[in-house]
Amino acid sequence: MHSTRTRLRHGALTACAAALTLLAVGCSKESAGAQDDGCRDNGHWSQRERAAWLRTAVAFRGTAADVADPSYDKASVVVRAGRTGDVRVLCQPLAVQVEFWTLTATTTGTETSFVMRYRLSTDGSRARTVGFPAGLPAGQDGSCTRVLVAAYPGAPLADGELPWTTRDLATSGETDVRFGTARIGAYRLLPPQDSAPCDAGRSTTSPSPADSTAWNINHP
């Protein structure tokens, strides 16, 4: 009799242990599934994947051709959640650089000058806004000058990754801008605020760097 009761208790304990194990596994799977549904796994993304996400997340405001204020006081770069495809927030925040340059036409080509770089971290859960730097040149000094702004993930651009244009600055469009890297998420080449200097002195085309690979994000 004692042996029978012992076997029954042992069987009951074994059954309870098995039930607890199944419950734990089920909860674990449910938790993992909730995490998968709650954020987008970007831990192993390549440079191209990070740039592709950023391309859908960046918006340029106050930069249209008909902007009346040459100082761009109200212009900004906004980084938010992606607008197409998988719009979940990222599981790991992405380091983003927003960089500004001025492009000035010279007798030998186009001179690119660094203006400002702003670093931010985003997972797409809220909008991050970067205002344009104060005092951007607008060509009032008689030079043909345009502003270029780009947003990209990771570290600041190296010398071989910096932008250039493939044709005369006065008539260049965004498809004429090249970078020496594939990690540019989005960029905007602003129209000249004073077109007279650009129309008056057409510069020669800047040669592409011989040691760089030209990337145009509009034509992957």
Mean pLDDT of the chain: 79
Q: Contact at 8 Å (CB) between 154 and 50?
A: yes
Distance CA 83, CA 86 (A): 8
Tens-place pLDDT, residues 38-54: 899 999 999 999 999 99
Tens-place pLDDT, residues 102-118: 999 888 888 999 999 99
Token pair of 76 as six digits: 């900004």
Distance CA 82, CA 56 (A): 5
Q: How far is CA 29 from CA 20, 33, 43, 185, in A?
A: 14, 6, 20, 35
Domain boundaries, the chain: 1-38, 47-200
pTM score of the predicted model: 0.73
**Residue 63 clears pLDDT 90, i.e. is over it:** no
pLDDT of residue 210: 44
pLDDT of residue 194: 72
Lowest-confidence range among 17-21, 31-35, 40-44, 191-195?
31-35
Q: How far is CA 23 from CA 12, 17, 18, 28, 30, in A?
A: 16, 10, 9, 9, 10
Q: Count of CB atoms within 10 A of residue 94's CB?
A: 20
pLDDT of residue 216: 56
